Amino acid sequence: MTEDFLPINGTDYVELYVGNAKQASLFYQYAFGFELIAYAGPETGVKDRASYVLKQDKIRLVLTSALDPFSEIADHVNRHGDGVKVLALWVDDAEKSWWETTTRGAESEFKPKVVSDQFGEVKMSSIKTYGETIHTFVERKNYKGVFLPGYVPRKSTYTAESIGLKYVDHCVGNVQLGEMDHWVEFYEKVMGFKLLLTFDDKDISTEYSALMSKVVSNGNGYIKFPINEPAEGKKKSQIEEYLDFYGGPGVQHMAIATDNIVHTVSELRRRGVEFLEVPSSYYDDLLDRVGKIDEELEPLKNMNILVDRDEEGYLLQIFTKPVQDRPTLFFEIIQRKGAKSFGKGNFKALFEAIEREQALRGNL
Ligand code: FE2
């Protein structure tokens, strides 16, 4: 086996650039059960932005909005709407990570640097990936502060209760027609990832909403990045709709793992999070398709939770509607019971559900 030149311990944080981070942070606290833990902004000496750091189990979400109307953040939000800017990766050596990837062709976002405060130091470096999304390498073995130097601890007067969201399972990127293989190659060559799976339009096209997808994963399998591109269909692909409204490639969805999807989704629903719906006929022959499962069928059916099986086990999953007005970023909630795949058996039902939403928006 060849040595992994880019060992990654996991997702460090995901940063969204949003129109109003103050309000978005409350949405993710109230609706998704995240806890506010840290903040950076003018009160802490940061002049151009305000950032709220939210946490639930292993997931750290950073919500940033611009204070300066002419800043890069304001421009990003203007063009893309709310969306993921940074998929940060937790590494043991941020300098080596930058060096290994840039010498293999990655474009640098910023060179390795050390940031420090009274709680220690963090080394960071960053490279560009699809669209305007970046991967920031974070080396934090010498840091004891709440998040990163420059951030101060911050609590909300609202007490967030965890709803069982545990870690980032995978993050999916949408890229333009003909660009998927380029980005798969980027992850293979530049970051040492391996191609895990390929879905072509025979697997996943409905009458209209065709797409192609390939999944790449890092050495230890903790980081999984499916990459989608539109495929020719009768009408507009859901990926094209995303690209039109995001203004180019970007993160389509973040899948978050739970070990009790029924509890997690019932909490999300109670708090007003909207999900895609499949017809109740999906459940008529579900157990014939996936075999015996531990969960009762009725709550799954009531909540529109989908099930799929592969050689290693099964998984339960559900997709939110977009979490902003543009039909761009959404979330997946996933519970894995042995299965390591992505719910291929649900693609058709799911994409038909997406098409119904697309049609309502007048974008099909
Ligand atoms: Fe997914």
Q: Is residue 334 part of a domain?
A: yes
Contacts of 109 (CB under 8 A, 6+ apart): 126, 127, 128, 134, 136
Co-location of 308 and 190 in the same domain: yes
For residue 318, the CA-to-ligand 1 centroid distance in Å is: 9
Q: Is residue 158 part of a domain?
A: no
For residue 221, the CA-to-ligand 1 centroid distance in Å is: 15
Q: Please indicate, yes or no, whether the overall pTM of this predicted structure exceeds 0.85.
A: yes
pLDDT for the residue numbered 201: 65
Question: How confident is residue 112, by pLDDT bands cut at 50, 70 and 90?
Answer: very high
**pLDDT digits over 160-194, tens only?**
889 999 999 999 999 999 999 999 999 999 999 99
Q: Is residue 16 part of a domain?
A: yes
Co-location of 110 and 86 in the same domain: yes
Co-location of 221 and 348 in the same domain: yes
For residue 40, the CA-to-ligand 1 centroid distance in Å is: 31
**pLDDT digits over 353-364, tens only?**
888 899 999 998
Range of the domain at 244: 165-361
Question: How confident is residue 228, by pLDDT bands cut at 50, 70 and 90?
Answer: very high
Q: Which secondary structure element, helix H or strand E, spans residue 24, and what is its range?
A: helix 21-30
Co-location of 307 and 222 in the same domain: yes
Residue with token string 């189990």: 57
For residue 330, the CA-to-ligand 1 centroid distance in Å is: 10
For residue 145, the CA-to-ligand 1 centroid distance in Å is: 32
* Mean pLDDT across 67-74: 96
Co-location of 60 and 202 in the same domain: no
Q: Is the predicted pLDDT of residue 200 greater than 90, yes or no?
A: no
Establish how many alpha carbons lie within 13 A of residue 352's alpha carbon, considering only the half-sphere containing its beta carbon.
Answer: 10
pLDDT for the residue numbered 1: 55
How many domains is the chain partitioned into structurally? 2
238 close to 213: Cβ distance less than 8 angstroms: no
For residue 340, the CA-to-ligand 1 centroid distance in Å is: 12
Q: Is residue 4 part of a domain?
A: no
Co-location of 197 and 132 in the same domain: no
CATH number of the domain at 87, please: 3.10.180.10
Q: Is the predicted pLDDT of residue 38 greater than 90, yes or no?
A: yes
* Mean pLDDT across 151-157: 96
pLDDT above 70 covers what percent of the chain? 98
For residue 203, the CA-to-ligand 1 centroid distance in Å is: 15
For residue 360, the CA-to-ligand 1 centroid distance in Å is: 23
